[in-house]
């Protein structure tokens, strides 16, 4: 049996990747990062990644003198740091401004079908899906686009869907100063569909219901809204 822990666990069992296989193992809410993760600049990271990826391509037997391949290591490095894993850097966290709820709108606000692309931290292959987020104002509101940006920020890092769901929810709670938030994610994992079991029809659904949303009535209301 695989034991899940959190960031305070000091006795988390160690498993080899052969033992873990394709099981969904993760160790806590925070993305696992080294304390010195930002001791070098993004430019230095891109240079190191390009060198290392060039070595990987060479080991696989690819001809790096070919016009189509010789620029690939630098392209991959740039993509990793500036695009698909840019959410690892706190400097890229979206700036969020709160506004008074002058409309006195006190029902749930739902932003649905937020498209996101992430990457499975176990195989570094894409996770593609939709996120639905909702909140009830505590007296303050944020711009709608900021909800999308929060989703994208946490998606742009090696992820596990359960962690992604909770990270988005915790960020919304902190930003909006309310427990009344909900997050539902429906995603397709290429580590399931393109390798391993190769099931191309299944998807994974995770959810977080906090505060007023954590009741059967409110969950049903939210689900009806999403199905509208």
* Whether residue 123 lies in the annotated active site: yes
Residue-range domains of the chain with CATH: 40-84 (1.10.286.10), 99-227 (3.30.1130.10)
The one catalytic residue among 24, 47, 111, 121: 121
The one catalytic residue among 159, 161, 167, 171: 161
User: Distance between CA atoms of 210 and 190, rounded to whole angstroms?
Assistant: 29
Task: Look at residue 18 and tell me whether its pLDDT is greater than 80.
Answer: no
Residue 173: exposure state from Cβ atoms within 10 A (0-12, 13-18, ≥19): middle
* Whether residue 161 lies in the annotated active site: yes
pLDDT at 198: 80
Residue 167: exposure state from Cβ atoms within 10 A (0-12, 13-18, ≥19): buried
pLDDT in tens, 136-189: 999 999 999 999 999 999 999 999 999 999 999 999 999 999 999 999 999 999
For the ranges 9-18, 87-96, 107-116, 196-205, the lowest mean pLDDT is seen at 9-18
Residue 95: exposure state from Cβ atoms within 10 A (0-12, 13-18, ≥19): exposed
The one catalytic residue among 152, 159, 171, 189: 189
158 CB-side CA count, 13 A: 12
User: In this structure, are residues 182 and 207 in contact, taking their beta carbons and an 8 Å threshold?
Assistant: yes
pLDDT at 6: 41
User: Which pair of structure tokens corresponds to residue 30?
Assistant: 């925070």
pLDDT at 33: 95
Residues in the chain: 228
pLDDT in tens, 65-124: 999 999 999 999 999 999 999 999 999 999 999 999 999 999 999 999 999 999 999 999
User: Distance between CA atoms of 137 and 106, rounded to whole angstroms?
Assistant: 6
The one catalytic residue among 47, 111, 123, 170: 123
* Whether residue 132 lies in the annotated active site: no
Helix (H) or strand (E) holding 167: helix 161-176
* Whether residue 121 lies in the annotated active site: yes
- Global model pTM greater than 0.85: yes
């Amino acid at each position: 049996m695989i034991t899940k822990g959190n960031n305070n666990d000091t006795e988390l069992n160690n498993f080899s990747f052969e033992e873990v296989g394709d099981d969904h193992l993760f160790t806590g809410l925070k993305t696992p990062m080294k304390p010195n993760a930002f001791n070098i600049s993004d430019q230095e990271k891109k240079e190191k990644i390009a060198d290392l990826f060039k070595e990987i391509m060479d080991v696989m037997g690819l001809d790096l003198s070919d016009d189509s391949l010789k620029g690939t290591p630098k392209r991959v490095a740039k993509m990793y740091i500036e695009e698909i894993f840019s959410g690892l850097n706190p400097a890229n966290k979206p700036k969020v401004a709160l506004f008074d709820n002058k409309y006195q709108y006190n029902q749930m606000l739902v932003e649905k079908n937020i498209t996101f692309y992430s990457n499975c931290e176990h195989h570094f292959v894409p996770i593609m899906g939709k996120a639905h987020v909702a909140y009830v104002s505590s007296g303050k509101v944020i711009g709608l686009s900021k909800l999308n940006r929060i989703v994208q920020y946490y998606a742009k890092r090696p992820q596990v869907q359960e962690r992604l769901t909770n990270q988005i929810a915790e960020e919304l709670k902190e930003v909006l100063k309310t427990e009344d938030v909900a997050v539902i994610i429906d995603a397709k994992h290429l580590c399931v569909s393109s390798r391993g079991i190769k099931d191309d029809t299944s998807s994974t659904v995770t959810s977080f219901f906090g505060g007023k949303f954590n009741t059967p009535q409110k969950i049903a209301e939210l689900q009806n809204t999403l199905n509208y």
